[in-house]
Structure 1
Amino acid sequence: MARNTKKTRGLGRGLSALMSDVAQDDTTTATSARADLHVPVERVHPNPDQPRRTFAPDALEELSASIAEKGIIQPLIVRPAPHHDGHYEIVAGERRWRAAQMAKLHEVPIILREYDDTEVLEIAIIENIQRADLNPIDEAMGYRQLMDRFGHTQEQMATALGKSRSHIANLLRLLTLPKELHGYLVSGALTAGHARALVGHDLATELAREVIQRKLSVRETEKLAKKGPAIKKRAVPGAPVPKDADTVQLENELAAALGMKVTIDHKPKAEGGKLTIGYRTLEQLDDLMRVLSGQ
């Protein structure tokens, strides 16, 4: 059962309206929203479903020092805490709340909103995407969550978040890479530019290791990728012929555009083939029908 079923704001107003309520987690912003209230810090509690679980200690120390000197410029966005009268649950701004406690502030400024659980999660994902230190995989997963859980299109996200549609589509393509490459992207061993050049390769993992070992640039990685796999696989009698890189690339681009799994079966030297689109929910099927009908 949802903890807060009242839905007076949020999804019905669209993604852009939700974005207007998400303040950047930065106390150096020149302008600030006006707080509705100032409340004791102990009456404010973090969101238990916050997707961000780690907060860099050095960054918190720096923010705490800024808050001690200047105060909290951007108020926290909160909602009434379910089943706890007089208390509040953080919707956006947990980092500021933590830093305020380190700075020994007794009160924090808040903007009070009426959000249900679904809206709280959506805003938490949006705020997470705005992090300056977000790695490409986490950013791509945030976009995927907004598409899968809330039905937002790439165009809607691009407009609301101030990103280009190609930026979002390129990041979503990274999710099709092998998990080992995800780790390289999270650690910073590979950049998004390096990884994009490897999307669709059967031996993307081996190529990525070579890129890291040789410290290749993005342009050098693109040249390496065009040469094809450095290690040839042995042919197994009766085994299916692996797809060429162009076909895999097209599958990934269609999958990123539609938000659904796409499979292309194209026989070598043939003009025709088969295109398969997989959907997980009836809502996704409805979305597909709207796209195909031009609505």
Structure 2
Amino acid sequence: MERKPLKRGLGRGLSALMADVQQDVATDAGTTVPRRPDMLVPIEKIEPNPDQPRRRFESEDLEDLCRSIKEKGVIQPLIVRVSPRDSLKYEIVAGERRWRASQMAQLHELPVLIREFDDTEVLEVAIIENIQRADLNPVDEAAGYKQLMEKFGHTQERLAEALGKSRSYIANSMRLLQLPDDVIEHLADGRLSTGHARALITSDHASELAKQIVSRGLSVRDTERLVKKAAQGEAVPKAKSASRPKDDKDADTKALEGDLSAALGMKVAVEHKEGTEQGKIVISYNNLDQLDDICRRLSATE
């Protein structure tokens, strides 16, 4: 039977799209409650969006979410639309992490909110959902704002109103993308804070100063002083190379290394991953004869 089109999604503004991504809804009593789903859908009838802008899903985060779902279930419904490729299935608009974690938890059906979004609105909602993540790094957040402005023509004022942020916050966030690529990488990986990065935006020596900040563990206030000195023409000191970590192997591991080295006549290093049963053994040879000896021993049969 042909599905009747749902009229709720088309032509809606940014604030209306934001309302769908919100985790909860407000009640008359001033409290919030989880969104009530439109229906429950078998998990095998739900498919991911092939144009989802988020490509990385950390396994550790998914495992944490899986444990939560096993304990409490899927509290927040997924937002879906009828799949443009198969009218008997639904395509995820927002909530792919929940879908993946629910598969790990071996759930059979998921709560969904059904919307009729066109391809443009699907991408827009996916970007908004990513921006709303609590653990989003400043670079991805800024890139999300940039996408919403460039792809969909939103202004900083409109974004600020819909997202509940000030226009200056949006503007300052997007300015971070003007930094050199290596500084942006430090920021994305958490080696630099947003405060550090903002202090570096106006500097002509941002890359070299960033190395100083990371290697010396400078505070934001120290960074501001360093940037000021560089602007006044003072030479920027070279960052010191990181010192090699001390050997913290336990006595048993060192004894094992000694026994293996004595048996092989070559240096052997055992590198065990702390807290796991995994690791690797590194055998160092000084010449090709020793390499041949290693190969012969490894390939020997009883």
TM-score, length-scaled by structure 2? 0.70
One of 96, 101, 104 as aligned partner of 1:94:
96
Q: For the structure 1 residues 11 and 153, does the alpha-carbon distance in structure 2 shift closer, same or farther, using more than 3 Å as the test?
A: farther
Taking the aligned partners of 2:10 and 2:109, their CA distance within structure 1 comes to 30
- Offset of residue 202 of structure 1: 1.3
Q: Indicate if the aligned counterparts of 2:23 and 2:35 stay in contact, CA closer than 8 A.
A: no
One of 50, 53, 67 as aligned partner of 1:51:
53
Q: Counterpart amino acid of 2:15? A: S
Taking the aligned partners of 1:208 and 1:111, their CA distance within structure 2 comes to 45
Structure possessing the higher radius of gyration over alpha carbons = 2
- 2:181 aligns to what? 179
One of 200, 204, 207 as aligned partner of 1:202:
204
- 1:146 aligns to what? 148
- Counterparts of 1:83-122 in structure 2, within 5 Å, are 83-122=85-124
Q: Indicate if the aligned counterparts of 2:10 and 2:118 stay in contact, CA closer than 8 A.
A: no
Taking the aligned partners of 1:72 and 1:212, their CA distance within structure 2 comes to 40
- 1:292 aligns to what? none
- 2:16 aligns to what? 17
Q: Secondary structure at the match of 2:49?
A: coil
- Offset of residue 123 of structure 1: 0.3
Q: Secondary structure at the match of 1:119?
A: helix
TM-score, length-scaled by structure 1? 0.72
- Offset of residue 83 of structure 1: 2.7
Q: Indicate if the aligned counterparts of 2:149 and 2:155 stay in contact, CA closer than 8 A.
A: yes
| Structure 2 alignment gaps of length 5 or more | 25-30, 237-302
One of 133, 136, 143 as aligned partner of 2:135:
133
One of 188, 191, 195 as aligned partner of 2:190:
188
Taking the aligned partners of 1:7 and 1:37, their CA distance within structure 2 comes to 14
- Offset of residue 219 of structure 1: 0.8
- 2:71 aligns to what? 69
| Structure 1 alignment gaps of length 5 or more | 1-5, 233-295
Taking the aligned partners of 1:66 and 1:143, their CA distance within structure 2 comes to 30
- Offset of residue 169 of structure 1: 1.0
Q: Secondary structure at the match of 1:111?
A: strand
Q: Secondary structure at the match of 1:39?
A: strand
One of 220, 226, 231 as aligned partner of 2:235:
231
- Offset of residue 24 of structure 1: 3.7
Q: Deviations over 1:107-138 (max 9, x none)?
A: 00111000000000000000010111111111
- Offset of residue 12 of structure 1: 3.1
Taking the aligned partners of 1:188 and 1:11, their CA distance within structure 2 comes to 39
- 1:288 aligns to what? none
Taking the aligned partners of 1:95 and 1:106, their CA distance within structure 2 comes to 16
Q: Counterpart amino acid of 1:156? A: R
Taking the aligned partners of 1:30 and 1:58, their CA distance within structure 2 comes to 29
Taking the aligned partners of 1:176 and 1:94, their CA distance within structure 2 comes to 31
Q: Indicate if the aligned counterparts of 1:24 and 1:127 stay in contact, CA closer than 8 A.
A: no
Taking the aligned partners of 1:126 and 1:10, their CA distance within structure 2 comes to 15
Taking the aligned partners of 1:13 and 1:43, their CA distance within structure 2 comes to 27
The CA RMSD measured in Å over matched residues stands at 2.0
Q: Secondary structure at the match of 2:197?
A: helix
- Offset of residue 30 of structure 1: 6.5
- Offset of residue 228 of structure 1: 2.0
Q: Indicate if the aligned counterparts of 1:23 and 1:92 stay in contact, CA closer than 8 A.
A: no
Query: How many percent of aligned residue pairs carry the same amino acid?
Result: 63
Q: Indicate if the aligned counterparts of 1:185 and 1:192 stay in contact, CA closer than 8 A.
A: yes
Is 1:155 matched up with 2:157?
yes
Q: Deviations over 1:143-191 (max 9, x none)?
A: 0000111111111111111222222111111111111111101111111
Aligned length: 224
- Offset of residue 33 of structure 1: 1.0
- Offset of residue 196 of structure 1: 0.4
Taking the aligned partners of 1:22 and 1:223, their CA distance within structure 2 comes to 41
Q: For the structure 1 residues 184 and 85, does the alpha-carbon distance in structure 2 shift closer, same or farther, using more than 3 Å as the test?
A: same
- Offset of residue 68 of structure 1: 1.2
